[in-house]
Structure 1
Amino acid sequence: MSTGYDDIKTRLQGSMVALVTPMLPDGTVDYKRLADLIDWQIEQGTHCLVAVGTTGESATLSMQEHSDVIRFFVEHVKGRVPVIAGTGANNTAEAIKLTQEAADAGADCALLVAPYYNKPPQEGLYQHYKAIAEAVDIPQMLYNVPGRTVVDISQETVERLADIDNIVAIKDATGSVARGEQLIKAVGDRMVVLSGDDNTALELMKVGAKGNISVTANVVPKAMSETFSAALRGDFDAAHAAHDVIKHLHHDLFIDSSPMPTKYALYKMGKIDRGIRLPLVWLAEEHYATIDSALVQANIN
């Protein structure tokens, strides 16, 4: 059945970066570097940008900063690629407020992480997402990442939510290809299924996922774009050829809590300053050699 959200469904695909939020050494948001990162990502072929996701340190930005960064993304991107705004929270009213502000700013889609820490039951998850969808008329994407939230959106709950018109996609960061394939079979005709796990994303695309929301794409956007553009064409030989050069980064960029290693890598590349928010800290020196070697292996000088 056709809905008013069909256009955005066709655009949520390929290599989609969960962009870091660059900061100055005192922790304030560095909007000059953010503009540069956005331009670089688009020039390198990234298909969609995610503003203030987990990698963007959503947990430590104030609500005002959160909305300000999303608005900056939209205004700077100027429609060149879709902007997906991270607006999830474990407080439904807060999530509605952030999602409404993202809609008002002109974001193309809202990314809503499963409510973390308070461990709602499946009915609570359903009612949470339903309430946000009914309150804000913007395309919305579920985000299931039980490794961080300690709550898992069941397939049954996703199937129920897929009946809501403006819930258009899900970011599946479970890392299970078998589970992702079941999800695609169950709801793939109603919502876009995307990977949120760099390690398994290419395999999930082989069974029908439309793209990958990536941490690794922060560092190697062109290689990731080439990988997932080829996968979208069904050319998995070309996809693997591009992917093999950089796939080690999927592990190395998680050598410590994300986005600490990614921020260090971007700092070494001259892309950002040395800024991060507590309780995260700058990457420990003992890990520098691992990231330095990973960059060389990925042909980044």
Structure 2
Amino acid sequence: MEQKEILKGIIPPMITPLNKDFKIDRKSTEKLVDYLIDGGIHTLFILGTTGEGPLISKAEQFKLAKFVVEYTEGRVPVIAGVSAPSSLEVLKNIENLNESGLDGYVSTLPFYDKTNLKEEIKHFEILAAESELPIIIYDIPVKVGQRLSEKALENLVEVDNIIGLKDSSSNLRNFRERVEKFRHKKDFSFALGHSDMIDISIYLGADGVVPSDVHLFPELCVEIYNNAQKEDWIKARKLQSELNKKRIELYNSFPAQSRANNKVCKKHLKAKGIIASDYIMAPYI
């Protein structure tokens, strides 16, 4: 498998099925993996934001990664979030997952103190140098407290073992500028992390999309992507509008305190009988 393929297509930021003791629910995880793969997705992204990765113990992180890789049996690539407040803590997460058989790691900037330009670059250079698997940069200002700077990205696209960017910055103009500026880098991929813009993502040059709503409507998300790939923009736009309407109706059906993506996804998946419970890592409800 080429590294570029890891960030191509529809990439679910998979929720983590939990029991009431906050341990991994293996049976539910099996059903969820099959449900997503049967829906046509291209890569599984575990332990990310929607997957509550930083909230889960290292022991359970490893159990989940190893189990998902083994159960998937190579049907699709599996990548995992390893984000933490410091570079050294990210490296500990990588070391913890090293024997699980993953295809790559995804990391944000550190998220306790803000970093300057040199520190942004240094963080990912450290990860790229120490990791045996490829590193994907995750730009999500709402969780980290700052955006990845353009100057940092300009440097990092040239670093060996850094293969792509998952952009969840909610800035389409900036995303377009990033793609156009670095489109010539054939070994560097771009994915957008927004469910309501799958068609636009591909139109702007993204290789893949990481939509949490793929938990709710997997076939529809994949169909939007497939039509966008074929440059049938009218069909893709029509399907995207259908998805957006459905997602708004579904999200509005839940109480305001349950509007976070992973909470709604878990409640919906439980109602469909795919997972056994909708537990969220304590103290969140």
Q: TM-score, normalised by structure 1?
A: 0.86
Contact 1:88–1:95 (8 Å) recurs in 2: yes
2:79 alignment partner, SS class: strand
2:196 alignment partner, SS class: coil
2:224 matches 1:227: yes
Contact 1:74–1:106 (8 Å) recurs in 2: yes
Residue equivalent to 1:264: 267
Residue equivalent to 1:276: 280
Residue equivalent to 1:147: 142
Q: What displacement does 1:242 show? A: 2.6
Equivalent position to 1:122, from 106, 117, 121 = 117
Contact 1:55–1:215 (8 Å) recurs in 2: yes
Contact 2:15–2:266 (8 Å) recurs in 1: yes
Query: Is there any run of 5+ residues in structure 1 with no aligned partner, and where?
Result: 1-5, 282-301
Instruction: Give the AA of the match of 1:248.
Output: K
Residue equivalent to 2:52: 57
Residue equivalent to 1:3: none
Instruction: Give the AA of the match of 1:182.
Output: E
Instruction: Give the AA of the match of 1:270.
Output: G
2:166 matches 1:171: yes
Equivalent position to 2:11, from 9, 12, 16 = 16
Residue equivalent to 1:198: 195
Contact 1:14–1:232 (8 Å) recurs in 2: no
Contact 2:168–2:192 (8 Å) recurs in 1: yes
Please say which of residues 242-251 and 7-16 is displaced more in the overlay.
242-251
Contact 1:174–1:197 (8 Å) recurs in 2: no
Query: What are the Cα deviations for residues 55-114 of structure 1, in whole angstroms up to 9, with x where unaligned?
Result: 111122011211221111111111111111111112211211222343432211111122
Q: Percent identity?
A: 25
Contact 2:58–2:96 (8 Å) recurs in 1: no
**1:62-211 pair list within 5 angstroms:** 62-190=57-185, 191-211=188-208
How far apart in 1 are the matches of 2:202 and 2:112?
Answer: 30
How far apart in 1 are the matches of 2:131 and 2:212?
Answer: 28
Q: TM-score, normalised by structure 2?
A: 0.91
How far apart in 2 are the matches of 1:48 and 1:61?
Answer: 21
How far apart in 1 are the matches of 2:54 and 2:283?
Answer: 10
1:234 alignment partner, SS class: coil
Q: What displacement does 1:145 show? A: 0.6
Please say which of residues 100-109 and 88-97 is displaced more in the overlay.
100-109
Query: Is there any run of 5+ residues in structure 2 with no aligned partner, and where?
Result: none
Q: What displacement does 1:250 show? A: 5.0
Distance verdict in 2 for CA 1:26–1:114, change over 3 Å? same
1:143 alignment partner, SS class: strand
Contact 1:21–1:34 (8 Å) recurs in 2: yes
How far apart in 2 are the matches of 1:211 and 1:48?
Answer: 10
1:120 alignment partner, SS class: coil
How far apart in 2 are the matches of 1:33 and 1:186?
Answer: 42
